[in-house]
A and B are shown apart, each in its own frame.
Chain A
Amino acid sequence: MSEGLVHLLQLLVSGVVTGGIYALVAMGFVVVYKATHVINFATGEFMMLGAFFAWTAMSALSAPFAVALVAALLASALLGMATERLVLRPLLGQRTISVIMVTIGLAAIFKGLAQIVWSGDYRSYPAIFPRAPIALGPLLLPSRQFYPFLIALAAIALVGLGFRFTRTGTAMRATADDQMAAFGMGIDIRRVFSLSWSLAAMTAAVAGVVVGIIGGISPQLGAIGLRTFPVVILGGLDSIGGALLGGVVIGVLENLAGGYVDPLLDGASLKEVVPFVVLVLTLMVRPYGLFGTREVERL
């Protein structure tokens, strides 16, 4: 196989890995949007905190990875619930923009606190997986990309299936379709909101851990959260399938740009902005995304 082809495949594979992570974050995001119609601008900060929770469990308490992951999930679930209870519930019934702005405030708080608690330094997890790279045909995938990717896939499957097939998931989807009707059916909407936020925080935590394993942990890790907005807009704000596809498309595109365009630019990195360029194009061409529903408003 030619060197060029291998290079292309390599880029595609790391694109899919990146895309898997985007898709995972995007799912947490879509879950909150579907249930509460809030765009959560603190998604990236939930990721970052999840990553730090797991790191603290592993390095300070020297817990094994699996235990640390579960601990991070629990802590994130609590954080998500607390956020919903303390910050979002008082704003229930307020205009959506107030709620969105509150999530921006939250993001600033979380980021600042993380910097105070864990400092701004880069950290990495103690070795978790076998170091040997994984051979996929002619390609060698570094183990610290391969295993985290598997975790991301498992989490995506879990969240997707749970949303589809469990009672709670059904309640969430019903609330998303029609809040008043769901309320009339005896669904406890506040519980659904609370669950959506904790589910979103947990999904974000897994994504944070995955990103942390691949690229290290710092309070800046949340910046990746911002890159999921293009993913969800491309996929359609309220579509889980769209989040998956959008994640992969954007992950692949940005890796291709990084592999082929960036070397031609003098020090600039197009890779950084590719998702946002896709976002702008999406808004121009197909504003409701690939799978999003057009909203019908009623008087």
Chain B
Amino acid sequence: MAEIPVATTEDRDILCVEGLSLSFGGLAALTAVDLSVRAGSITGIIGPNGAGKTSLLNCISGFYKPQSGRVSFDGRDVSRVAPDRRAALGIGRTFQNVALFEGMSVLDNVKLGAHARLRSGILATMAMTPGARREEMRLREEVENEVLDFLEMEHLRHRTVGSLAYGLQKRVDLARALAMRPRVLLLDEPVAGMNEEETEDMARFILDVQEERGVTVVLIEHDMGVVMDLCDRIAVLSFGERIALGTPAEIACHPEVIRAYLGEEAA
């Protein structure tokens, strides 16, 4: 297997969360959470419901403003950067309950992911100047080749998103995130609600994204099989605190994790 080129985890943190605390009206959602993510790795975040996993992703993508702590991306403090600018910097994201634009076609949803890296001004697009037209056609080719072909969904391009089955909608959500050409991809329960076949497809896509494109992946998932298979490192959250961090093997036998999380399933 050694001759197959495999993206190696670099010895460098691309994403760093330090001392992050977040509360809603006095109710703590996250307490002094630290997390560093190696470039090129797949990091899993697990924990019982309400542990603050999605809140953590929301802080990273800038949707929540934590009361204290900082988020840095590629060595730069982005704590004060607006969500859309973080997206432009290379933080991509999918959503737990697929937050797609339901009235739009699959193609338009995916194209929207590229919004921040397109340059045409609004007047140019209205007049459809040669430059704007060229950019749009180049985008179309890119989206077809890099995303739709890759995720095996060319046949769905003109379908309205609202008319697709849930599993496919989750795939569109991933497609939109890939169109952002992210350097870090945050996935919020990518296989939730999927059947076994869909789950396997999605796991394969995630691995391909990391191996072929060198995208760093951070994922929240309840499916422990997927987490153990995919992740290089796993962080465990419980009641807003990070109670463990380690390789899948370390996490599987970590006493506190077993008590806080796996114990719950065993019971």
Residues of A whose CB lies within 8 Å of any CB of B are: 296, 299
Cβ of A147 to closest chain B Cβ, rounded Å: 44
Cβ of A190 to closest chain B Cβ, rounded Å: 25
Which residues of B sit under 8 angstroms from A296, Cβ to Cβ? 24
Complex-state Cα separation, A296 to B29, whole angstroms:
15
Which residues of A sit under 8 angstroms from B95, Cβ to Cβ? 299
Answer whether residue B54 sits at the interface, using C-beta atoms and an 8 A cutoff: yes
Docked-complex contact A299 and B24, CB < 8 angstroms = no
Which residues of B sit under 8 angstroms from A299, Cβ to Cβ? 54, 58, 63, 95, 99
Complex-state Cα separation, A299 to B96, whole angstroms:
10
Complex-state Cα separation, A296 to B58, whole angstroms:
13
Residues of B whose CB lies within 8 Å of any CB of A are: 24, 54, 58, 63, 95, 99
Cβ of A208 to closest chain B Cβ, rounded Å: 38
Cβ of A93 to closest chain B Cβ, rounded Å: 14
Complex-state Cα separation, A296 to B55, whole angstroms:
14
| Residue of chain A at shortest CB distance from B99 | A299
| Residue of chain B at shortest CB distance from A297 | B63
| Residue of chain B at shortest CB distance from A296 | B24
| Residue of chain A at shortest CB distance from B58 | A299
Complex-state Cα separation, A26 to B58, whole angstroms:
37
**What are 6 inter-chain pairs, A to B, with CB distance below 8 A?**
A296-B24, A299-B54, A299-B58, A299-B63, A299-B95, A299-B99
Which residues of A sit under 8 angstroms from B54, Cβ to Cβ? 299
Complex-state Cα separation, A136 to B63, whole angstroms:
56
Complex-state Cα separation, A299 to B95, whole angstroms:
9
Complex-state Cα separation, A217 to B54, whole angstroms:
56
| Residue of chain A at shortest CB distance from B54 | A299
Complex-state Cα separation, A299 to B58, whole angstroms:
8
Complex-state Cα separation, A299 to B55, whole angstroms:
9
Cβ of B184 to closest chain A Cβ, rounded Å: 18
| Residue of chain A at shortest CB distance from B96 | A299
Complex-state Cα separation, A296 to B27, whole angstroms:
14
| Residue of chain A at shortest CB distance from B95 | A299
The 6 closest A-B pairs by CB, nearest first: A299-B63, A299-B58, A296-B24, A299-B95, A299-B54, A299-B99
Which residues of A sit under 8 angstroms from B99, Cβ to Cβ? 299
Which residues of A sit under 8 angstroms from B63, Cβ to Cβ? 299
Complex-state Cα separation, A299 to B29, whole angstroms:
14
Which residues of A sit under 8 angstroms from B24, Cβ to Cβ? 296
| Residue of chain A at shortest CB distance from B25 | A296
Cβ of A61 to closest chain B Cβ, rounded Å: 52
Complex-state Cα separation, A296 to B22, whole angstroms:
13
Complex-state Cα separation, A72 to B54, whole angstroms:
52
Complex-state Cα separation, A296 to B67, whole angstroms:
14
Complex-state Cα separation, A299 to B99, whole angstroms:
9
Cβ of A182 to closest chain B Cβ, rounded Å: 15
